[in-house]
Chains A and B, each alone.
Chain A
Amino acid sequence: MTASSNAPGLVSRYGADTAFMTFVALLMGFLYVPIWVLIAFSFNDSRSLTWPLSGFTLDWYRTLWANGDIQAAVGNSFYVATFSTLLTLLVGVPAALALNKFHFPGKTMFRRLILLPITLPGIVTGISMLNMFRLFGFNLSLETVILGHATALLGIVVTQVFARLQRLPKSLEEASSDLGANPLRTFFYITLPNIRSAIIGAGLLSFVLSFDEIPVTFFLTGRDNTLPMYIYSTLRRGVTPEINAVGTLIVLASLILIILAVIVTRERER
């Protein structure tokens, strides 16, 4: 290599490497110091969130445990996230299959519309569906939230499953149909096993995003609060260490889900 054979090149390369390393370290600090701050203050025995930390306590977790509203909100969030994930998979997987396999008039339009909610601010999805539900006389409830989330998350499922489908060799399905399998059998024995981990990954991500969704929920929920909506309304009254405690538990849950997602993807690569 020419770069390593002359000394000035080596020096500048070393300098550049150090600069890059410092930059990456600073970026990691920017991303993770706030999360550690969140966690640290959930164990701090003072009501005010100020430096330095004053002492260790589990009181904030104890108050959480005793708070019935939070428990109801967590339950609601699980309900909403589970069903909106199922729904969005039910619609998104066929959409990805159609995009991958068929040619039909208006396909570009179809693709753009189905991917739109990724970039479209949730508030537009939220108020447009709010208007529709009101117009047709539906009462707002957790179920309307589920419909809203399923719509907002559709694009995520479609991109992930579609990307996997694109990498599947066409010859697999052709071989299957040459061997006399009908399309349904081909789908269940060939296509589905190959995209399974993408579907699970997309499902996990949808679940997480639905679990902490605010803009759509804000407009579509009735009297019931989901967990992020509960936190959001508490924040109107100011910041408290209880929120840090909820936050720490959410970070923990996210961590478990990330590890789960990594394991699922690894399995596929083996």
Chain B
Amino acid sequence: MSAAPRRNLAGALILGIPILWILVFMLLPYGIIVTYSFWIKKYPSFMPAFQLGNYVTLFTDPQYLQVMARTLKISTLVSLCSFALAYPFAYYLVFRCRSQALRTWLYMAVIAPLWVSYLLRAYVWKTILGTEGILNSFLISTGIIAEPSPVFLYNQFAMVVTLTYIFIPFMVMPIYTALEKIPRNLSEASADLGMGPWRTFLHVTLPLSMPGVAAGFTLTFCLSFGDFVAPFLVGGPDGNLVANVIATQFGAALNWPLGSALAIVMLIIVLSIVSLSDRLESRGNGGEF
């Protein structure tokens, strides 16, 4: 066949370009930060070495442990809040909403904010929650409170609200996809067999939608885990997350080896969550995003 060599060439290009890109712009840079993470900070620069001191610091110094615990807590809370909002919404769209047009509109309405600048969506919460902010002045003007309350901004509550606001589309999309794939006759069969709506939901719908839930948790958790803009805007002095600490190591603190080690820790956490949820998803074979 004369087409065979040409097909091979096209194939080599199709596969070669992305592989080259992955090698040069992903694997090589990751390799470099792995290497740096073993180096030692030595004023004014760094010294090549092979030691685990940076990792030991990260896992023994209470300062870093605290930041990591806080980050885990915040991203867990964000995932849970997004789930609590997204699941009933997606369920309503797929099973309860009878108008196709309304369903499309509502789905679009939740996804659309993804197209609106992420920075602005974080910024607007700063203007709403601040001491001089819109919520406070609104509450004062309606007489609910007498003077501005500082409880809304610069704390973990503000971070959870802001990050949930930003990342909720990533929870809705996979859950919606998973629910849509469930054949309708399953819940009808379950009802015919005498199961009430709640039992049908708990024993049929919820288990079948788990791949979507897993995908949603993965996305919202990982995205909020690595965020450094929302903490900067609404987190306040005690609101630093891991990503802020990494940024500081590469900026003011000028400790690239430690920052690299922290980035590696983050990379490993994300990779393990992704492969865990991959396993969950391939069992259920759902969630395409």
Query: Which positions in A face B, CB cutoff 8 Å?
Result: 2-3, 16-17, 20, 23-24, 27-28, 30-32, 34-35, 37-38, 41, 48-52, 90-92, 94-95, 97-98, 101-102, 104, 110, 112-114, 116-125, 127-132, 135, 147, 150-151, 154, 159, 163, 182-184, 187, 205, 208, 211-212, 214-215, 218-219, 228, 231-232, 235, 239, 243-244, 247, 250-251, 254, 257-258, 262
Contact = CB atoms under 8 A, between A and B. Distances in A.
A221 to B, nearest CB: 13
A102 B134 contact: no
B252 interface: no
19 contacts: A20-B92, A31-B165, A37-B128, A38-B123, A38-B124, A49-B132, A49-B133, A90-B17, A92-B18, A94-B14, A94-B18, A102-B11, A119-B222, A119-B273, A127-B250, A214-B229, A235-B233, A254-B116, A262-B108
Nearest to B222: A119
Nearest to A23: B88
Contacts, number: 228
B109 A31 contact: yes
Nearest to A94: B14
A91 B191 CA distance: 49
A231 B119 CA distance: 8
Nearest to A40: B134
A163 B27 CA distance: 25
Contacts of B250: 127, 130, 219
B99 interface: no
A232 B11 contact: no
A212 B117 contact: yes
Q: Which 10 A-B residue pairings sit nearest by Cβ, starting from the closest?
A: A121-B226, A128-B29, A95-B18, A50-B137, A212-B117, A51-B137, A51-B138, A119-B222, A94-B14, A132-B29
Contact of A49 (B127, B222, B246): B127
A51 B134 contact: yes
A121 B227 contact: yes
B43 interface: no
A215 B228 contact: yes
Contacts of A129: 25, 29
B274 A112 contact: yes
A90 B16 CA distance: 12
Q: Could you say which of A16, A52, A94 has the most chain B C-beta atoms within 10 Å of its C-beta?
A: A94
A35 B289 CA distance: 26
Given A121-B225, A215-B243, A147 B124 contact: no
B263 interface: yes
A91 B18 contact: yes
A113 to B, nearest CB: 5
A247 B89 contact: no
Interface in B8-54: 10-11, 13-15, 17-19, 21-22, 25-30, 32-33, 36
Contacts of A131: 29, 32-33, 36, 256, 260
A120 B88 contact: no
Contacts of B191: 2-3
B3 A28 contact: no
B18 A20 contact: no
Nearest to B102: A24
Contact of B134 (A49, A151, A235): A49
Given A37-B134, A120-B270, A131-B32, 14 more contacts: A34-B124, A38-B127, A50-B134, A51-B138, A51-B141, A94-B14, A113-B27, A116-B271, A121-B226, A131-B36, A183-B6, A208-B115, A219-B250, A239-B127
B101 to A, nearest CB: 13
Contact of A121 (B6, B270, B288): B270
B15 A102 contact: yes
A48 B132 contact: yes
A114 B18 contact: yes
Contacts of A232: 119, 229
A239 B110 CA distance: 27
Contacts of B123: 38, 231, 235, 239, 243, 247
Given A91-B18, A116-B26, A182 B263 contact: no
Contact of A114 (B22, B108, B130, B256): B22
A37 B229 CA distance: 20
B254 interface: no
Contacts of B119: 212, 214, 228, 231-232
A218 B119 CA distance: 13
A22 to B, nearest CB: 11
B247 A119 contact: no
Q: Could you say which of A23, A27, A92 has the most chain B C-beta atoms within 10 Å of its C-beta?
A: A27
B153 to A, nearest CB: 11
Contact of B115 (A147, A235, A258): A258
Nearest to B27: A113
Contact of A27 (B3, B89, B133): B89
